[in-house]
A and B are shown apart, each in its own frame.
Chain A
Amino acid sequence: MAAWAKRLAGVRGVLLDISGVLYDSGEGGGTPIDGSVEAVARLKRSQLKVRFCTNESQKSRGELVRLLRRLGFNISEDEVTAPAPAACQILKERGLRPHLLIHDGVRPEFDQIDTSNPNCVVMADAGDDFSYRNMNQAFQLLMELERPVLISLGKGRYYKETSGLMLDVGAYMKALEYACGIEAEVVGKPSPEFFRSALQAMGLEAHQAVMIGDDIVGDVGGAQQCGMRALQVRTGKFRPSDEHHPEVQADGYVDNLAEAVDLLLQHAHE
């Protein structure tokens, strides 16, 4: 048994990444990762609090949850912390009207937002909608603004789909940053506010929670910076070099969510 698992003592709640931990998106919606459906069920039956912390921004929470339930997962919308609602909150607070560089799937999250006469750009994982034309539109708008504001839902480099690795919003965010000479504001992992809001929703302090994710920097590094423990799974976008990351050392490396849950249920109550 992994010696490091003792570090899990005292954990009272788990933050679960979705893509790459629960399932891989892709054809027909996606495919659950082996053992993950049962792992979530076991967590729910245990004393541990469970929350899902995702940067998913191609689909609305509703669509995502419906898809996951179809795949057999025990999950509901109010258990999910996602970036679009967090971004909407910020837009309202600051009186920002966004030009949306997004995939249609996530548009329902912005239904309550005034998008007329935009004074900022909000970008998400637009996937195929990251056409040159759409990127250029966003760029031209930013260049015309006196005070250009670019909000990015996450800054991931890539994620895993069933067909292979896919460029994520972070790459396109960097493109616009470079083109306009500005810095984007990131809503979503690894921003500390995002993790804190998930912890708040669980009613836990950082040191009582563990994050389980496939992104060594965004999930694991980000969570640790907030004072949480974090486990790296070897599914999803994981690549062997992640185990020797120059800056981030996970509290533990597990093959998948199922193994993580095994260890948690053994050690969390010690």
Chain B
Amino acid sequence: MAARRALKAVLVDLNGTLHIEDAAVPGAQEALKRLRGTSVMVRFVTNTTKESKQDLLERLRKLEFEISEDEIFTSLTAARSLVEQKQVRPMLLVDDRALPDFKGIQTNDPNAVVIGLAPEHFHYQVLNQAFRLLLDGAPLIAIHKARYYKRKDGLALGPGPFVTALEYATDTPATVVGKPETTFFLEALRSTGCSPEEAVMIGDGNTERQTRRKSALLPTSLARASRRPWITSCSTCCEPLWQRNREQLETRSGWVPHRSAPGSLRADRVLPLFSCALIRKKGIELQPATKPR
């Protein structure tokens, strides 16, 4: 029997779910408004190594989404959070545009290395400097370990290979803080005060191939070609719930469960799910509306 669990927080992926590049996903603004009408806390999450929160905020506001800065949680935020927790002074190998997110953090006489997508820093002298710090015991914090990304002139090396190089040279693993690492989701939830069992993540499944299954936060195989939003759950408790109710979900909502991702559903429409009777009926209750957020 599925336990009735109150849904208290929602993590919403940005690119691919709320918007695709510079265009809003149709219906998303409306869906967000309806979401605000509930008492659910919302966080907008994204892996980025070169957009500061301000940049993201501007882009989203231009697309007419009502969002405040403290609702945005990026992989850069996660990195900053970790740096603060460890009380270290990082050597920041990140894009210049990401620096505002580290404002106020001490960086001289570094005793840690933070590494994001920053090709301008990935040449020998700088990496060697980082290597020497790490060999002396400094922690290595990686925003994420993407293998490569697309540029106009083709594929280009991401931060992952250089993180791997440093890990090998120093025989110490990096702490990766971006999606789909558990740390990322837990940190994003921390500011809501909710536990994973009380939260749901909505994403488009366009996550790197190396998804970890440590916490059943995301399905293991994702349809990269598809840009349609997935609904996944943050806790293993929710997975059996979706599976048991698959048939009803199909007929009631027109959603198609995707074979390769047990425990998640492919939605043809994003976010209206919150207003869908489905949620209330299938054991996830929305708290009665109090103040809109």
- Bound state CA distance, A165 and B169, in angstroms? 11
**A130 pairs with B123, CB closer than 8 A:** yes
Q: Is A201 an interface residue (CB 8 A)?
A: no
The B132-150 residues at the A interface (CB cut-off 8 A) are 132, 135, 147-148
- Bound state CA distance, A120 and B36, in angstroms? 56
> Counting chain B CB atoms within 10 Å of each CB, which of A130, A132, A140 scores highest?
A132
Contact A130:B132 (CB < 8 A) given known A136-B157, A139-B155, A168-B169: no
Contact A170:B168 (CB < 8 A) given known A135-B157, A178-B147, A178-B161: yes
**B155 pairs with A175, CB closer than 8 A:** no
Give A99-128 as 1s and 0s: 1 = Cβ < 8 Å from B's Cβ atoms: 000000000000000000000000000111
- Bound state CA distance, A140 and B154, in angstroms? 8
Q: Is the interface of B mostly helix, strand, loop or mixed?
A: helix
Give the distance to chain B from A216, nearest Cβ to Cβ, in Å.
12
In the complex, chain A residues whose CB is within 8 Å of the CB of B166: 171
In the complex, chain B residues whose CB is within 8 Å of the CB of A166: 128
In the complex, chain A residues whose CB is within 8 Å of the CB of B31: none
- Bound state CA distance, A178 and B131, in angstroms? 18
**A167 pairs with B155, CB closer than 8 A:** no
Closest residue on chain B to residue A139 by CB atoms: B157
Closest residue on chain B to residue A175 by CB atoms: B161
In the complex, chain B residues whose CB is within 8 Å of the CB of A139: 148, 155-157, 161
B interface residues, tally (CB under 8 Å): 29
> Counting chain A CB atoms within 10 Å of each CB, which of B120, B160, B164 scores highest?
B164
**B169 pairs with A171, CB closer than 8 A:** yes
Give the distance to chain A from B156, nearest Cβ to Cβ, in Å.
6
- Bound state CA distance, A132 and B120, in angstroms? 8
In the complex, chain A residues whose CB is within 8 Å of the CB of B171: 157
Contact A174:B123 (CB < 8 A) given known A139-B157, A167-B131, A179-B161: no
Closest residue on chain A to residue B120 by CB atoms: A132
A-side residues, CB < 8 A to B, are 126-132, 135-136, 139-140, 143, 157-158, 164-168, 170-172, 174-181
B-side residues, CB < 8 A to A, are 119-120, 122-125, 127-128, 131-132, 135, 147-148, 154-158, 160-162, 164-171
Instruction: Apart from A136-B119, A158-B135, A174-B167, list 15 A-B contacts with CB within 8 A.
Output: A126-B124, A130-B127, A131-B124, A135-B161, A139-B161, A165-B135, A166-B128, A167-B169, A171-B165, A171-B168, A172-B165, A178-B161, A178-B164, A179-B160, A179-B161
Those 7 A-B pairs whose CB atoms lie nearest each other, nearest first = A175-B161, A171-B165, A175-B165, A171-B169, A179-B161, A178-B164, A174-B168
